[in-house]
Amino acid sequence: MKDEWTIVRSCSWLHEAEFVKSLLESEGVDARIPDEYAVGVNPGYTNMLGGVRVLVRADQLARANEILESAAPPSAAAG
């Protein structure tokens, strides 16, 4: 299971995916953007690929989701 990767987020823009990856890596979670170079060369590929995917190891998915949820801004309904 350690070699399995799963999507933790799909972003609209490469810079968003890079931010997510950076945030996860700063907390010790292995992350990668498999289509980073393709989207960097032609941002139009983003829609064709279903967004800019950020992958984490399957055994780190729960921790990655916790990190991303705690980093999200509070919703407008909350306050």
The answer to whether residue 28 is domain-embedded is yes
The answer to whether residue 79 is domain-embedded is no
Show the low-confidence residues of the chain (pLDDT under 70). 1-2, 75-79
Residue 52: which domain range? 5-71
What pLDDT, on a 0 to 100 scale, did the predictor assign at position 44? 77
The pTM of the full predicted model, rounded to 2 decimals, is 0.82
The answer to whether residue 77 is domain-embedded is no
The answer to whether residue 78 is domain-embedded is no
Count of the separate structural domains present in the chain: 1
What pLDDT, on a 0 to 100 scale, did the predictor assign at position 42? 78
- The DSSP-derived string for the chain is -TT-EEEEEEESSHHHHHHHHHHHHHTT--EE-TTHHHHHH-TTHHHHHTSEEEEEEGGGHHHHHHHHHHHSPPPGGG-
